[in-house]
Chains A and B, each alone.
Chain A
Amino acid sequence: MKNLNTIKLLAVLFISTITLSSCSDSHDDDDHEHGEELITTVTYTLTNGNDVVTLTFKDLDGEGGLDGTTTISGPLKANTTYTGAVSFLNETESPAENITEEVMAEGDEHEVFYTTTVSSLTISKTDDDKNGDPLGIETSVTTSNAATGTITIVLIHEPLKPNNGNSTSAGGSTDAEVTFAVQITQ
């Protein structure tokens, strides 16, 4: 009878789709490894001749998991001008992915901001994006008196450009924000 045939057809359809989809279930277990655009490492390198100070923040398992770690190679010297360069890496990839290059390529959509609690420390941006607005990958850092405090580095995606140099009023969304404790010694 027609209806019984329909029922049989439905049953066959159901069973075959189950079988088919179960067969295609041989998933590659390595399909979904960790984030490709993740920033795991922020390094701020300050150079004055042979005096190189690096400030590093590393969080290899990204958001969640273990907390990130901060490493500071040593104190800054008072009354010195350093050349600063910030780099953003994704070290979950091998070799590590250089996010700094992506940021520079899309310089008009990014900006790195620096704030510090140390009054005897000034940081000024020395590079520009294609529109001539500050980018902040390269900086010049000048110290005066001995002091201690923090430097906060913020990478903002799609900030208002040009802006007044303050990340709070530049809008956009934060891609990286790390804080380092620094010391300036005589």
Chain B
Amino acid sequence: MIKYFFCFVFMCCFFTIVNAQNCTYTFKGKVTDFHDSTPIAGASLHILNSNIYTTSDFDGKFEFKNLCEGKIVVEIKHISCDTKRVTINVNKNIYKEILLEHHTNELNEIIVKTNSKTEKTSVEQLVKKNVINNFTDKSLGDALNTISGVSSLNTGNTIVKPMIHGLHSSRLLIINNNVRMFDQEWGGEHAPNIDINSSGRIAVIKGANTLKYGSDAIGGLILIKPEKYAIKDSIFGSTITSFNTNGLGGNINSEIVKTYKSGYYAKMQANYKQFGDFNAPNYNLTNSGLRNINTSFRTGYNSYEKGFSAYYSYVNNEIAILQSSHIGNVNDLVKAINNKTPRVVEDLSYDINFPKQKIVHHLAKLEAYKRFKDLGKLSVQYDFQINRRREFDLRRGDLKNTPVIDLRLFTNSIQTDLEINYLKGFKINTGLLFRYQQNDAVAGTGTSPLIPDYNKYDAGIYTVANYTLNETSEISAGIRYDFSKIDAKKRYNLSDWNEKYNYNELFPEFEVSVNNTRILINPKFTFHNISASLGFSKSFLDDITLLANYGLASRVPNPSELFSDGLHHSAARIETGLLTINKEIANKFVASLEKSNANFGFTISPYYKHINGFVQLIPTGITTTIRGAFPVWEYNQINAQIFGLDLDVNKKISKYFNYIGNLSLLKGTNLSEEIPLIHMPSINFANTISYKNEDFNQLTIGLNERTVLQQNQFPDYNFTTFNAISQEDVFLDISSTPPTYTVFNFNSSMIFKAFKKGSLKLEFNIDNLFNVSYRENLNRLRYFANELGRNFNIKLKINY
């Protein structure tokens, strides 16, 4: 079916004064192809509200004679284009070249191609809308977990932070609707503030094609993209409701889309999610529920030649954190580890008590693009984000309802991207970025802020070129330069500043004033970053493609790595950053051999990363405070390497049965000390067998198995501490990893015709089918409680 694509024409405005009626003007012109300026013959031109017609000749030329002075509207039609109108002010003889977008079908093909990949040479994997729908009541991290090589760092089961090849936080860029997310992403227990329901599809780029978005994608890039709509008059929408027995809660999400033939569109989406306390197989996880309200709004205008879009999203998350995870000192941690069950187990409740996180994130953007003949497409975008993060802990007295952490981060940026694509087989993307950020450690928490007030300025410039060598191979190369400046205000204990860190000798220029035992400092840091990428792709027969990527990435230390200094309540540890921490530089190689075929397909993707100055947070000892002993975790820099292999296989067994499997292998090494890296995902694999019968209401039944092996490669940071109550040395085992586990999940769905045009999808799923008790190494609360037990889930999706 031919889509309703319009052929656009440059609009020109002539501002002259009309004097008298004069019918002697001529309007000559030429109709040409927008792409290559070849003449278009046989286009019909009609002056509206008249019976004057003409047709373009073999050279694309046309002529109107004896036109009167005034405004005329010319309608131009051609067989492979949709009708377009041009307004002309006639006040002299006019010559005008009219450009038509001729390749409507080709354009469709381009869109199909970009749907599957951002760049041809990119090593990436995609989460499609139907998978996103399966995770409507879960989080972005849970959905990404289905991809090989992607895991997550969890805090309980509701705070899920994606990890690519063992790297997370500041080493992953998350791009939401072309806006880079800034939501205090440095924190291990800070999940991305994204409503998964607002996204159309999600691409995970493991390779090096990330320069457009930043220089610091050492781990990779997560690209959340909106849907594309056909240009026609239509209104449609969907509503998903979900109910779960574990946590006795669920989710309702509705979206409605209106599109117009003129190219305008608008979408509204809203989502409400609530869960009570979840439960592990043998006990309730007291204080583990959540409440989310999210909404997004998108509007814009799309045509081949120009367009704009505006997007706004609001995310409001209130997340309870397992009450038993609140601990006072090392002895409490020892007790928790030895007890095997959480210390507080109460009946299910929907209350969100302390400790908890309350986060509000606003994101808005405005983007416009225009294509220029013989050049390419220029896009300009402005975006801003406001993130307010409040973390509440168990506190005494008047401070009960006062957060221990209260941070407000304001980010805004303007960026341009010019895509030069008029040269055949050669495409260049180049752009500029300016960003300003302000972090405000909101006063009134009654604690020293973990992260200080700071201003950050960034500027970047990049160029990426793609060249098609021949029909089967393509190369790409890019380079990017970034400048950043951090200007912060912070207080230290005078004794720490002078004696512990020796900063009075290292950074005397930062000192501002001394007040009793405290010193106010004003650190200023400037960084210059160079990053680069190289990519190659070659296609062979039988749908086989080989991809190879090299990337040089560098990352500026984040505020927590530089400035952390004090008790991190939710982690019950003292975290210390260092002003001496410098940038991290990574060389990464990724290759991928892919066969994309529904009958039998696979992806084998080995990778190797070498990271110079890898910043890690590790336990270094114990400090004695009035609360007793606390573990001290310090940031330090080492050289690291991470290598591994991601494997995906799909095989059609018979007409109805299908198999999908994936395997992730990874090994991370601290090269400086020749020990394993901390918090690396272990070997894991998943197998899914599914049955689908298209003729019987698209009945789908699937069984999924996921196994995570015990991580035997871990650094030993265990220590002993003296327990004054029992008067003995106590061994604190914070490093040993939980045993191997296997979890089975069951899913089924059917689609029914409903109403005139709509459909109704009914799903029934069981998570953790055999109610297995297990703990996950990459869950920060693994010392305190088991993971979730069995859950029955019902989902109802109505399309209308």
Which residues of A approach B to under 8 Å, CB–CB? 1-3, 6-7, 10-11, 13-14, 17-18, 21-22, 25, 27-29, 31-37, 39-42, 57, 59-68, 99, 102-103, 105-106, 113, 115, 117, 150, 152, 154, 156-158, 167-168, 171-179
Let me know if B627 and A27 touch, CB within 8 A. Answer: no
Identify the interface centre among B384, B414, B566, B574: most chain A CB within 10 Å of its CB. Answer: B414
Closest 9 CB pairs of A and B: A174-B328, A177-B628, A36-B446, A65-B493, A173-B328, A31-B443, A102-B397, A171-B343, A152-B724
Let me know if A3 and B368 touch, CB within 8 A. Answer: yes
Nearest A residue to B434 by beta-carbon distance? A14
Interface residues in B414-449 by Cβ distance below 8 A to A read 414, 434, 436, 438, 440-441, 443, 445-449
Can you list 12 A-B contacts (CB < 8 A)?
A10-B368, A17-B412, A17-B436, A29-B489, A33-B491, A37-B446, A61-B493, A61-B495, A64-B496, A68-B626, A168-B726, A177-B725
Q: How far is the CA of A62 from the CA of B308 in the complex (A)?
A: 54
Let me know if A21 and B438 touch, CB within 8 A. Answer: yes
Min CB distance, B99 to chain A, in Å? 15
B304: chain A residues at CB < 8 Å are: none
Interface residues in B571-629 by Cβ distance below 8 A to A read 574, 576, 623-628
Identify the interface centre among A7, A99, A158, A177: most chain B CB within 10 Å of its CB. Answer: A177
> Within 8 Å of chain A (Cβ to Cβ): is B366?
yes
Q: How far is the CA of A33 from the CA of B491 in the complex (A)?
A: 8
> Within 8 Å of chain A (Cβ to Cβ): is B795?
no
Let me know if B574 and A64 touch, CB within 8 A. Answer: yes
A39: chain B residues at CB < 8 Å are: 626-627
Q: How far is the CA of A178 from the CA of B725 in the complex (A)?
A: 10
Q: How far is the CA of A97 from the CA of B284 in the complex (A)?
A: 38
Interface residues in B688-729 by Cβ distance below 8 A to A read 724-727
Q: How far is the CA of A25 from the CA of B701 in the complex (A)?
A: 58
Known: A34-B448, A177-B724. A171 touches B382 (CB 8 A): no
Additional pairs, 13, CB under 8 Å, beyond known A3-B370, A13-B366, A174-B329: A1-B11, A3-B306, A32-B449, A33-B518, A34-B448, A35-B447, A37-B395, A62-B625, A63-B630, A68-B625, A158-B344, A168-B335, A174-B327
B384: chain A residues at CB < 8 Å are: 17
Known: A6-B368, A102-B397. A63 touches B627 (CB 8 A): yes
Q: Report which of A28, A65, A113 forms a contact with B517, defined as CB distance below 8 A.
A: A65
Identify the interface centre among B491, B520, B576: most chain A CB within 10 Å of its CB. Answer: B491
B727: chain A residues at CB < 8 Å are: 115, 117, 150
> Within 8 Å of chain A (Cβ to Cβ): is B293?
no
Min CB distance, A160 to chain B, in Å? 8
- CB contacts between A and B, total, < 8 Å: 176
> Within 8 Å of chain A (Cβ to Cβ): is B75?
no
Q: Report which of B308, B335, B626 forms a contact with A6, defined as CB distance below 8 A.
A: B308
Q: Report which of B343, B446, B517 forms a contact with A60, defined as CB distance below 8 A.
A: B517
> Within 8 Å of chain A (Cβ to Cβ): is B756?
no
Min CB distance, B799 to chain A, in Å? 34
Identify the interface centre among B308, B443, B574: most chain A CB within 10 Å of its CB. Answer: B443
B623: chain A residues at CB < 8 Å are: 63-64
Contact with A along B213-240 (1 / 0, CB 8 A): 0000000000000000000000000000
Min CB distance, B439 to chain A, in Å? 11
B628: chain A residues at CB < 8 Å are: 154, 174, 176-178
B440: chain A residues at CB < 8 Å are: 27
Let me know if A177 and B331 touch, CB within 8 A. Answer: yes
A21: chain B residues at CB < 8 Å are: 410, 436, 438
Nearest A residue to B381 by beta-carbon distance? A10
> Within 8 Å of chain A (Cβ to Cβ): is B455?
yes
B327: chain A residues at CB < 8 Å are: 173-174
Interface residues in B, total, Cβ within 8 A? 67
Let me know if A157 and B446 touch, CB within 8 A. Answer: no
Q: How far is the CA of A154 from the CA of B624 in the complex (A)?
A: 14
Nearest B residue to A156 by beta-carbon distance? B328
Let me know if A6 and B380 touch, CB within 8 A. Answer: yes
Q: How far is the CA of A113 from the CA of B628 in the complex (A)?
A: 14
Nearest A residue to B496 by beta-carbon distance? A65
Let me know if B626 and A173 touch, CB within 8 A. Answer: no
Q: How far is the CA of A99 from the CA of B496 in the complex (A)?
A: 26
Identify the interface centre among B13, B394, B397, B518: most chain A CB within 10 Å of its CB. Answer: B397
B343: chain A residues at CB < 8 Å are: 171-172
A3: chain B residues at CB < 8 Å are: 306, 368, 370
A154: chain B residues at CB < 8 Å are: 628, 725
Let me know if B626 and A25 touch, CB within 8 A. Answer: no
Let me know if B453 and A27 touch, CB within 8 A. Answer: yes
Interface residues in B41-79 by Cβ distance below 8 A to A read none
Let me know if B489 and A68 touch, CB within 8 A. Answer: no
Min CB distance, B565 to chain A, in Å? 7
Min CB distance, B571 to chain A, in Å? 13
Q: Report which of A1, A29, A41, A173 forms a contact with B394, defined as CB distance below 8 A.
A: A173
Q: How far is the CA of A152 from the CA of B625 in the complex (A)?
A: 14
B306: chain A residues at CB < 8 Å are: 2-3
A99: chain B residues at CB < 8 Å are: 396
Q: How far is the CA of A117 from the CA of B723 in the complex (A)?
A: 12
Q: How far is the CA of A1 from the CA of B372 in the complex (A)?
A: 13
Interface residues in B622-672 by Cβ distance below 8 A to A read 623-628, 630
Q: Report which of A13, A63, A172 forms a contact with B382, defined as CB distance below 8 A.
A: A13
A66: chain B residues at CB < 8 Å are: 493, 495
A14: chain B residues at CB < 8 Å are: 382, 412-414, 434
Nearest A residue to B10 by beta-carbon distance? A1
Interface residues in B442-466 by Cβ distance below 8 A to A read 443, 445-449, 452-453, 455
Nearest B residue to A8 by beta-carbon distance? B380
Let me know if A173 and B396 touch, CB within 8 A. Answer: no
A22: chain B residues at CB < 8 Å are: 455
B380: chain A residues at CB < 8 Å are: 6-7, 10
Let me know if A40 and B520 touch, CB within 8 A. Answer: no
Let me know if A106 and B724 touch, CB within 8 A. Answer: no
Min CB distance, B478 to chain A, in Å? 24
A59: chain B residues at CB < 8 Å are: 625-626
Q: Report which of A36, A65, A106, A174 forms a contact with B332, defined as CB distance below 8 A.
A: A174
Q: How far is the CA of A141 from the CA of B92 in the complex (A)?
A: 110
B438: chain A residues at CB < 8 Å are: 21, 25
Min CB distance, B695 to chain A, in Å? 50
Q: How far is the CA of A14 from the CA of B459 in the complex (A)?
A: 14
Identify the interface centre among B412, B445, B520, B627: most chain A CB within 10 Å of its CB. Answer: B627
> Within 8 Å of chain A (Cβ to Cβ): is B326?
yes
B94: chain A residues at CB < 8 Å are: none
Q: How far is the CA of A1 from the CA of B438 in the complex (A)?
A: 34
Known: A68-B626, A105-B397. A175 touches B328 (CB 8 A): yes
Nearest B residue to A174 by beta-carbon distance? B328
> Within 8 Å of chain A (Cβ to Cβ): is B399?
yes
A6: chain B residues at CB < 8 Å are: 308, 366, 368, 380
Known: A14-B382, A32-B449, A63-B625. A103 touches B396 (CB 8 A): yes
> Within 8 Å of chain A (Cβ to Cβ): is B567?
yes
Let me know if B725 and A64 touch, CB within 8 A. Answer: no
Let me know if B396 and A106 touch, CB within 8 A. Answer: yes
A115: chain B residues at CB < 8 Å are: 724-727
